A and B are shown apart, each in its own frame.
Chain A
Amino acid sequence: MSDADDTVADAGFDDWLDAAEDGAAYYLECPEDHTSLPPRRVCPDCGSTDLEELALPDTGEVRTFTVTHVPTPAFEEDAPYATAVVDFGPVSLTGQVVGIDVGDVETGLTVELEISVSETTGERVIGLRPA
């Protein structure tokens, strides 16, 4: 990682992580009710540029998950870890399941968002904790 990577934020995305840390995670919705995640200026479904930020529901349900044993270098110290795709209703999110043994993760598990950090890099990671 260069210094630039360490110091320059990703506008829209890091702002979203900041909001999530404050318990104010959100998703985007256009007038036709298509939903998406930032950073985004245009609705990917209809091209509308009128996107409103709405509060992400508090809990979601695991749609699918995997336990990764062979990570990228950025997660070397974290493996094995469970990654899940979680349905929050209007949008789904991908994150790491935390606060539970990886062997106990299952489809249908109810989780809430909790921004965590990579044990390897200290970078913020979207975490999902059993609710």
Chain B
Amino acid sequence: MSDVRVAGTGLTPFGNSPERTSRDLFAEASIAAFEDSGVPREDVEGVLYGNFMGELSEHQGHQGPLMAEAAGVQAPATRYESACASSGAAVREAVKRIRTGEDDVLLVGGAERMTNLGTAGATEALAIAADDLWEVRAGVTFPGAYALMARAYFDEFGGEHEDLAHIAVKNHENALSNEKAQYQSAIEVSDALEAPPVSEPLGLYDACPISDGASALVLTSESYAEEHDLEAPVAITGTGQGGDRMALHDREYLARSPAAREAGDEAYADAGVSAGDVDLAEVHDCFTIAEVLALEALDLEPIGEGITAARDGRTTADGETPINLSGGLKAKGHPVGATGASQIAEVTDLLAGDHPNSDHVADATTGVAHNAGGTVASATVHVLEVLE
């Protein structure tokens, strides 16, 4: 079974571009990925594309073939939808297809147009990742669901809003040098603590922004990379996916993410690594508390201790295991369908030394990308390693 090379990565700026269609966003990301890879478009055998709310934001279903066309690729295309884990799921399927030998070159990525919906419209669209009958109709929003988990975490393990504020501060700090990030501005702990409440105990600075953007990856088999002498030192060596009950209230633990643990355990085993080998990670911090739950699910922090990781400097840029050196969803932005593949792009660039924050992880060889859907009823985890 061959490893899957990340031959090229491409991202649009993430941010506020309400007038831009997702086909335009994905086209830009794909152009960058093809240029980065040196792989000709005609070698692509399939397009795997993640998108969550295209029906609501653009009145557009059937986005797979539309995006292949936008990217100038004549190959079969499928859209993957798993809420915020949509393009993580697309990456995982691409990895499996290349490993079986079915395909040698795939274009993978995602896009989301969100800001054209406005805050209320985007809040409504994001909420549909929850159980419509039993959660959304009771007034549960996306921030509300994470707020329910945050309070449950505080009750079970301790911690306070100020601990979460340090995560926001860290991720904003990391985004300062990321020209693709939505926010390239430092914030203070006091800014986060004084921000207006969204869903208590979470405030405005605990939440990722509403974003437009796209991501694209050119993935190839090892043999294709060798035959074509590609400069592709980073490979996806492990993939995992987990699932959970849809509604938060149907879960045994409100402050843990078993789906992410399942995905992480599978990805680590697949790659033949353990949490101790991980040098850096991009985790799905749609809300500050989500970063805590992700670290614990990935065994990067013991259960109940992830809350202090940023505050105590373990996950900052110069800490033991830097987390979200891209700025994370919090500061880089979260164009939902683009996020999973964008995390793979960031980890690849960090490991390859092509990222503005690569200097913080100069000796890193192993990175992890963790992508979560909804309140983590779905999750994918990928392990990436430098192979040469």
Q: Mark B291-311, 1 if CB is under 8 A from A, else 0.
A: 000000000000000000000
Is the CB of A129 closer than 8 A to any CB of chain B?
no
CB of A22 within 8 Å of the partner chain: no
Residues of B in contact with A, size category: 35 or more
* A66 partner, pick from B127, B137, B200, beta carbons under 8 A: B200
Chain A interface size, under 10 / 10 to 19 / 20 to 34 / 35 or more: 35 or more
- Please state if A64 and B127 are interface contacts (CB–CB under 8 Å): no
Q: Evaluate whether A94 and B248 lie within 8 angstroms (CB atoms) in the complex, with A70-B123, A83-B139 already known.
A: yes
A8 to nearest B CB, angstroms? 14
The answer to whether the Cβ of B119 comes within 8 Å of any Cβ in the partner chain is yes
B148 with A70: CB separation less than 8 A = no
List residues 185-220 of chain B with CB under 8 A from any CB of chain A.
196-202
Give the complex CA separation of A86 and B200 in angstroms: 17
- Known A13-B133, A36-B250; contact A67-B149, beta-carbon cutoff 8 A: no
Among residues of A, the one whose C-beta sits closest to the C-beta of B153 is A64
Q: Is the interface of B mostly helix, strand, loop or mixed?
A: helix
Task: Return the chain A residue nearest B139 by Cβ.
Answer: A75
Give every chain A residue within 8 A of B1 (Cβ-Cβ). Answer: none
| 8 Å CB interface, A11-67 against B | 13, 36-37, 39, 44, 63-67
A37-B134 contact, Cβ under 8 Å, with A67-B200, A70-B199: yes
Structural contact, B152 and A70, CB atoms closer than 8 A = no
The answer to whether B141 and A70 touch across the interface, beta carbons within 8 angstroms, is yes
Are A72 and B123 in contact, CB atoms less than 8 angstroms apart? Answer: yes
Closest to A10 in B: B133
Residues of B whose CB lies within 8 Å of any CB of A are: 119-121, 123-124, 127, 133-141, 143-144, 147-149, 151-152, 155, 196-202, 245, 247-250, 254
In the complex, the 9 A-B pairs of residues with the closest C-beta atoms, listed nearest first: A66-B147, A92-B249, A64-B152, A72-B124, A67-B200, A68-B199, A13-B133, A85-B249, A66-B199
Residue pairs across A and B with Cβ atoms less than 8 A apart, 16 shown, are: A63-B152, A64-B254, A66-B200, A68-B141, A69-B196, A69-B198, A71-B123, A72-B139, A73-B124, A76-B120, A83-B144, A85-B152, A85-B248, A92-B250, A93-B249, A95-B138
